[in-house]
Amino acid sequence: MAKIIPFKAVRPIRNKACLIASRPYYTYKKSLLKAKLRGNPYTFLHVINPEFSKGDKTTANSVERFEKVNEKYNEFQSSGFFKKETSSCLYVYRQTTKQGIYTGIIAGASVDDYANNMIKKHENTLKKREEVFKKYLDICQFHAEPVLLAYKEPKSVNRIINKIILNRPEYEFFTTDEKGHELWVLENKKDIQFIVNEFKKVPESYIADGHHRAASSLLYSLDNKNNESKLKDYFLAYFIDINNLNIFEFNRFIKTIQPFSNKELLLALKESFLVSPTTRKHQKPTSNKELTIYLNKKWYLLKIKDAIYNKLDFKKQLNSELVSEFILKPILNIADLRTDERVDFISGFSSIKKLTKKVNENPESMGICLYPHDFNEIKEIADNAMTMPPKSTWIEPKLRSALTIYEY
């Protein structure tokens, strides 16, 4: 039984929504982030980066930094950039991109459901990052970026959504990353209660993006048990049907293959893979048994040998696991993707040219192109309390921060 609640969102006034809502700050390159901050006084990035134009800076993730974030948030509110709902609402959000159209419901998701594994995860979280975001919640008292939760959407909920989107959205705008954004405010108490009741029939949901935010929300709730407000027991979430997700691979850029030469590396790879050069300029794998590598301005197709693959369990057969278990760990001695600085990650959502360009600029490097996971693999991993290697998936949609802010 999934528990959700409507909430009184703090959200941008209509004529500034397109200027305030931002991608998460960590998705911007440093130079682009500076340009955004210089060029747009309304962007929520100013809240997350409150010391952009100041000389005296605090330490990242410190109490002092989060206090500055909270001050800037209050400044935005006092400037009239935001409004707060007078009654608790649910929200329908639709994002339109070249890759697909994504529609779902923004609501408060239950930390108890997360604790009881009804909201399931497929990635390990780092205790240090959990504590950092918990500290942020203690001081700032708001969520601005929803956790992306995938679930099997009941037909009854889908019918309500389809009825709502016939009306004019509260927000309707495009952003420079060529994405359209629409938000509808669901105020009708009868419809809200119907959706809340229908969610009680949903047996589970899966974290597609936001593992650390969910884990930190549980920590915050446990630490505030004496707080009578039920808002502490929920976190900001965007529920979307499993079939409405778009899953891309996360490719690997290996900064150096030393001590191997190109020839020696290819020879080592032949222990586990059938290796053959390709004739295409940009080559991607065509099945989950394949990988492609870009080395010395040449593409090679790697297919795991059947005799090896057939002995592997489900987890080891995952495409991202093949990279770790048969290339990174045994050959390049890269054991921990979370900490080894020789590895960078490039989303398959980006052009493959981004990977080849980085390799061309560094003759000692290598690019590894993965085959994208499907949701059934993610579900199998989560249902059996297993985890994938870090950065195994890039899942769309990626949500904007500060369209609906959840305050404690």
pLDDT at 121: 93
Give the pLDDT band of residue 54 (cuts 50, 70, 90): low
- Are residues 118 and 62 both part of a single domain? yes
Distance of CA 10 to the CA centre of its chain: 22
pLDDT at 362: 93
Span 179-197, mean pLDDT? 97
pLDDT digits (tens, 9 = 90+) for 365-397: 999 999 999 999 999 999 999 999 888 999 999
- Are residues 195 and 79 both part of a single domain? yes
- Are residues 193 and 328 both part of a single domain? no
- Are residues 157 and 298 both part of a single domain? no
- Distance CA(388)–CA(394), nearest Å, equals 13
Buried b (16+ CB within 10 A) or exposed e, 289-308: bbbbbbbbeebbbbbbeeee
- Are residues 102 and 177 both part of a single domain? yes
Q: Is the CB of residue 238 less than 8 Å from the CB of residue 148?
A: yes
Higher local confidence (pLDDT), 278 or 54: 278
pLDDT at 162: 96
| CATH code, 269 | 3.30.1760
- Are residues 188 and 329 both part of a single domain? no
Q: Is the CB of residue 148 less than 8 Å from the CB of residue 244?
A: no
Higher local confidence (pLDDT), 341 or 183: 183
- Are residues 307 and 230 both part of a single domain? no
pLDDT digits (tens, 9 = 90+) for 85-105: 999 999 999 999 998 999 999
pLDDT at 350: 84
Give the pLDDT band of residue 351 (cuts 50, 70, 90): confident
- Are residues 260 and 220 both part of a single domain? no
- Distance CA(59)–CA(74), nearest Å, equals 21
pLDDT at 282: 76
- Are residues 160 and 260 both part of a single domain? no
pLDDT digits (tens, 9 = 90+) for 246-270: 999 999 999 999 999 999 999 999 9
Span 278-282, mean pLDDT? 78
pLDDT at 24: 82
- Are residues 180 and 311 both part of a single domain? no
- Are residues 328 and 311 both part of a single domain? yes
71 pLDDT higher than 70: yes
- Distance CA(148)–CA(155), nearest Å, equals 20
Categorise residue 374: left if φ over 0, alpha if ψ from -120 to 50, beta otherwise. Answer: beta
pLDDT at 245: 94
Distance of CA 235 to the CA centre of its chain: 16
Spell out the long-range contacts of 154-159 with Cβ–Cβ below 8 A and sequence spacing 24 or more: 154/198, 154/201, 154/202, 156/194, 156/198, 157/105, 157/195, 157/198, 157/199, 158/241
> How many structural domains are present in the chain?
2
pLDDT digits (tens, 9 = 90+) for 297-348: 999 999 999 999 999 999 999 999 999 999 999 999 999 887 888 999 998 8
221 pLDDT higher than 90: yes
Following DSSP, what letter does each residue of 71-134 receive, concatenated?
Answer: HHHHHHHHTT-EEE-SS-BEEEEEEE-SS-EEEEEEEEEEHHHHHTTSEE-SSPPPHHHHHHHH
Domain span at residue 299 reads 247-395
Tokens 């290796």 correspond to 275
- Are residues 260 and 235 both part of a single domain? no
